[in-house]
Structure 1
Amino acid sequence: MPHLESQPESQLLTEDGPFSLVEETVLGHKFLQFRNRKKSLRELLLSGLSFGDREYMVDGDVRITYEEHYALVCGYSRMLSQQFGIGSGDRVAIFAENRVEWCIAFWSVTALGAVAVAMNGWWTEAEFDHAWRLSQPKLLLGDRKRLDRLRDLKLDTHVIDWEESPLWDVPSAKTLPDVEIDEDDPAVILFTSGTTGRSKAVLISHRGELGFVQTNQFNVARGMEAAGLSLESRQPAKILGVAPFFHMSGLAGHILFSYAMGDTVVLLRGRFSAEKALHLIERERVTTWTLLGGMGPMVLECDALDQFDCSSLRSITFGGAPISEFVLKGLRERFPNAQCTPSIGYGSTETVSVPVGFGGQDFIDNPGATGRVNILHELQIRDTEGRECPPGKNGQIWVRSPFSMLEYWDNTAATQEVFDDRRWLATGDVGRIESGLLWVNSRARDMILRSAENIYPVEIENRLDAHPDVIESAVIAIEHPIHGQVPGACVVLRDAEVFDPKRLTDTLARWVGDGLAPFKVPEHWYFATTPLPRNASGKVLKQEIERCTQSATSGDFIVLSQ
């Protein structure tokens, strides 16, 4: 059967339409592209000047317009170039919370043709060190809180602490340094964990990041076309920015897509709290909010919900985890002015853009599905022999688009494992196609999704197995009313006679927390002395472990079936 691909019908795609298509060669392969498109993030940056004195970002008491932002980027990029020699291909790491400086630094780096290395702000020193050694940046930019975590690391490079050297002290300018940038030049490195449990550096091009922006612009335009409206008639939104910039959702969603649409992003700094979010919605008259992970339940359980005026909200969407009908109903009741639109998308750091997604009534009518293939993307389900599967049969999900990552940085073998000779990308996930919809088999996906944060169990297992009291371990997903899922650990002990559940859980939790980010620390613990159940090939049977823990309480000693 032919592969599944998007074939939207729209006047937007006609030869004279704003989203007309053309076939071009990308990295040696033919792909459909939008004919009229930006060719670099630098071009996108320049286009934002048309929004003039409209506010681009609000960060506490700091408010910057599109014009002010451009002038700051021009000045900071010149400083990076002149004082630190940053130029095409150089890597500059950013290790900070969501703040205006993060955004300005990102645009400044990519406008020079350099590569912004987005370090995960949750990382411990050890996790940062691995990513640093892997990507070898020429310069590190960050905030005091995160840089303080690195006190014991000897970084052989310049470090700019924004508390010591405020970005605002750098004189603004009117023009950018003169640099030529190709569509397929690298722009960003984001990090993802794989089956080894160590972060891999995903190298993403300007074409890839702009592909995320442009395909989403098309989806917005198509939705407006269906309502008899044009994209030009769209009113700018005020968006509550809650997604971290070191994730694709925050980087491409808040920093890039909002910029392309002329929207205003209101940043919520630090850990999410419902009361803090509601305060910002009231103060800034926020119109649009995407609730990630467990934010929906947290908002509904907030005692202060009725104290805030949230009548400005016009659109509430969801991402990062499925949304229950109970939560959806509750949000519709509490925010009557907002159109609460359940939606879901399927993609990864490696796919860069979102190959599959849908929302609204289509999503409601097909609970459990992941969506339809987006424009300029193709999708196949393949069996273990590489043959395409018929509808309804599970297999590995492969996607193809001109926007996929360039490669895993400094890891040729891993890159070759996920790309075939036509640049089809193996996602590593298992799913099936039914009635034009993709259904992802979540049980086949050895990943835990905690409030939109991806947790790969093998990372935690490697850490636990290094403890002297542990023979081996397996980490599984435990359902959670707020976070969706949290990690639970089944630990095979070396000496059951000294078993003290309270002492041991505290000890192991501290052990994991000393080596990994806090959200990766298991919240449920189960203990055993018999080996983990495995199949004939030696793979741990996690479904059997889940079955054995169903009737147990955290801290229990359980008997594992063999």
Structure 2
Amino acid sequence: MSMTAPKGGTAPCSVRVMNLANFLTQSARRHGAEIGLVWGEKTWSWAEIEARVHAMAYALSTEFGVAKGDRVLVQSANCNQMLESMFACFRLGAVWVPTNYRQSPTEVAYLAKASGARGMICGAAFAGHAAECRAAAPDIGFVLSIGASDFGEAYDAVVQRHLGQTIRAADVDRDDPCWFFFTSGTTGRPKAAVLTHGQMAFVVNNHLCDLMPGTGPGDASIVVAPLSHGAGIHQLMQVAHGAKTVLPPGEKLDVETVWQLIERWKVTNAFTVPTILKMLVEHPSVERFDHSSLRYVIYAGAPMYRADQKRALATLGPVLVQYFGLGEVTGNITVLPPAYHRAEDGPEARLGTCGYERTGMQVEIQDGQGNEVSPGRTGEICVIGPAVFAGYYDNPEANAKAFRNGWFLTGDLGHMDEEGFLYITGRASDMYISGGSNIYPREIEEKILTHPDISEVAVLGMPDPVWGEVGVAVCVARAGVDAHAIDLKAWLGDKIARYKLPKQVVFWEEMPKSAYGKISKKLIREELARRGDLADGETVQSA
């Protein structure tokens, strides 16, 4: 492995830890006959999942030569094989390298090359991805196909051939890599954050402690996001405590089906992002199915606008849990549990906070020189603790920029109050300077989303010959509302300082989103240029 340790100092001593594959083995021992996984109309018991993982791990080792430290690329929509491949790689001490299946063949080929993948497991629908990965990454010695295809042997056929075979879990140390968690690449090429066995064991304990206390074999979790990223980490918690995982059928989000499955399987927890949670609670089917089993609806990836919070609380009750984190810290920075999600405004609601420090983690707001700033002052959010990743794979330059005095620099701006509650102002890259004043889009977006007729918004700083930069608000009106009738600038007049008012307001029918379901300002900038919506004029409406 070629990875520059970013934290400096003497080389750490080797510390043996549990192989993460043992989470599955433990649940199979205790709950073998119980259902561990649901996908559509199919179910698998914990014992069946464990047997299939053993079979695939045995095949990867004996047939395809995968050894400890080798990387296995996985390009697939959510399915049982994807979850199995995670534990098969862990069992061998190999590194699971999942992609977001919505990425293009060229994007995935870059990940194959950048990770030094030894082999590939690929959904049958992604023949083009398999071909481009083979061409770009000559170290790929095999490709297995999930489903029938012309580009590789069928995954399930390999499993069937080796059912009954077992293989001992590899010995692993705390810092041995288990997962390459690729960043979304919003500011350049994606980077592989190296997650390790010791780090992820802490993350599992931390998630169970801070996000979903009391989760156990009687619980069920529904997956509404790709297993390649946060949802995959979330499912590790379920496996560790014997809670079943429910995968909706189909690649696209079908909101009605999600609510049907929540009722049918008495789902108790879900991991999602604010945009998806908004879709779930605004769909009429939420009223037709029983969702009273839900105890924790966890959202992350971006702060949730206050108007959307209120609607979710009114619809689902006091079940919302927010956490703030990045892939590099596997989500473990802050938590805002249900008790702090208040439907009524006021001091106790702590409007705008993303919570307080996660158990075992420390957060500090620092200035550009690495000094801690006083409560209430804006600076960069920095973090230390066992959930921080080992560094970026084969990228010493990125590692040097990401760490300072042992602190991981998140690139997010925010401030902390006297009681330790964190408030995110926005990404450092989102801030713009207009007429010499620093302007933070997040503050303006929060105000705009209190307008009853606006559903989504993004505020961006765009070049201006007079002011240097000015704000442009791209909005989506609520269904059935005529955007022409919304005079947003007049409505904002007494709500924010005049210098913060967006110079231009643009209405679109829908907002560009990343492959992870987040509103992407990079895509919005590109779309603004493509549409030519930055012409002179106060308000622009385009399809």
Superposition pairs for residues 72-111 of structure 1, below 5 Å? 72-111=52-91
Give the alignment partner of residue 410 of structure 2, picking from 412, 424, 427. Answer: 427
1:115–1:186 CA contact under 8 A, matched in 2: yes
Q: Distance in 2 between matches of 1:482 and 1:105?
A: 41
Distance 1:191 1:69 in 2: 26
Is 2:185 aligned against 1:198?
A: no
Q: How does 1:70-469 map to 2 (within 5 A)?
A: 70-152=50-132, 154=135, 155-156=137-138, 157=140, 158-164=142-148, 165-169=153-157, 170=159, 171-173=162-164, 175-177=166-168, 179-193=170-184, 196-219=187-210, 236-247=218-229, 249-254=230-235, 256-268=236-248, 269-324=250-305, 327-328=308-309, 330-331=311-312, 334=315, 339-364=317-342, 365-421=349-405, 423-435=406-418, 436-442=420-426, 444-446=428-430
Change (3 A) 1:326 1:116: same
Relative distance call for 1:523 and 1:99 in structure 2 (3 A) is: farther
Distance 1:479 1:528, change over 3 A: closer
Instruction: Provide TM-score, normalisation by structure 2.
Output: 0.72
| Shift in Å, 1:51 | 2.2
Name the amino acid aligned to 2:220.
K
Structure 2 spans left out of the alignment, 5+ residues: 1-6, 343-348, 432-440, 443-457, 463-468, 480-507
Q: 1:394 to 1:64 in 2, by over 3 A?
A: same
2:532 is equivalent to residue 553 of structure 1: no
After alignment, is 113-122 or 299-308 more displaced?
299-308
Q: Does structure 2 retain, via aligned residues, the 8 Å contact 1:291–1:316?
A: yes
Cα pair distance change 1:328/1:439, threshold 3 Å: closer
Q: Post-superposition shift, 1:246? A: 1.2
CA contact (8 A) 2:211 2:298 kept: no
Q: Deviations over 1:339-383 (max 9, x none)?
A: 432332111111124121112232431121111111111111111
Identity value in percent? 24
C-alpha deviations, 1:395-441, integer Å up to 9, x for none?
111110123111211111111221234x3211111111112111111
Letter in structure 1 aligned against 2:26: S
Partner of 2:18: 39
For structure 1, list consecutive stretches of 5 or more residues without a partner in the other structure: 1-25, 225-230, 450-455, 462-472, 484-504, 531-544, 557-562
Mapped partners of 1:334, 1:395: distance in 2: 35
- Judge conservation of contact 1:526–1:549 (CA < 8 Å) in 2: no
* Kept in 2: contact 1:526–1:554 (CA 8 A): no
CA–CA separation in structure 1 for the residues paired with 2:341 and 2:284: 30
Secondary structure of the 2:416 match is strand
| Aligned residue type for 2:328 | E
Q: Is the 8 A contact 2:21 2:169 kept in 1?
A: no
SS at match of 1:425: strand
Q: 2 CA distance for matches of 1:474 and 1:130?
A: 35
Q: State which drifts further: 313-322 or 344-353.
A: 313-322
Assess, with a 3 A threshold, how the Cα gap between structure 1 residues 29 and 348 changes in structure 2: closer, same or farther: farther
**Number of the residue aligned with 1:495:** none
For 1:275, what is the secondary structure of its paired residue? helix
Does the CA contact (< 8 Å) of 1:363 and 1:369 recur in 2? no
Deviation by residue 1:39-62 (Cα, 9 ceiling, x = unmatched): 331332332222222211101122
For the residue of structure 1 that corresponds to 2:78, the secondary structure is coil
1 CA distance for matches of 2:76 and 2:17? 28
Query: In the comparison of the two structures, how many residue pairs are matched?
Result: 450
Alpha-carbon separation, structure 2, partners of 1:142 and 1:193:
20
Q: Secondary structure at the match of 1:199?
A: coil
Superposed displacement of residue 475, structure 1: 11
Give the deviation of 1:522 after TM superposition: 4.0
- TM value normalised by structure 1: 0.70
Query: Which letter maps to 2:116?
Result: Q
Shift of 1:250: 1.0
Q: Is the 8 A contact 2:376 2:415 kept in 1?
A: yes
For residue 140 of structure 1, report the CA deviation from its aligned partner: 0.6
Over 3 Å counting, the alpha-carbon distance change for 1:46 and 1:257 in structure 2 is: same
1:259/1:550 Cα in 2 relative to 1: closer, same or farther (>3 Å)? farther
What is the rounded CA distance, in whole Å, between the counterparts of 2:295 and 2:386 in structure 1? 34
Of 369-378 and 195-204, more deviation after overlay is shown by 195-204
Structure 1 residues 236, 474: closer, same or farther in 2, change over 3 A? farther
Q: Structure 1 pair 192/457, CA: closer, same or farther in 2 (3 Å)?
A: farther
Alpha carbon RMSD of aligned pairs, Å? 4.1
In structure 2, the residue corresponding to 1:430 is in which secondary structure? strand
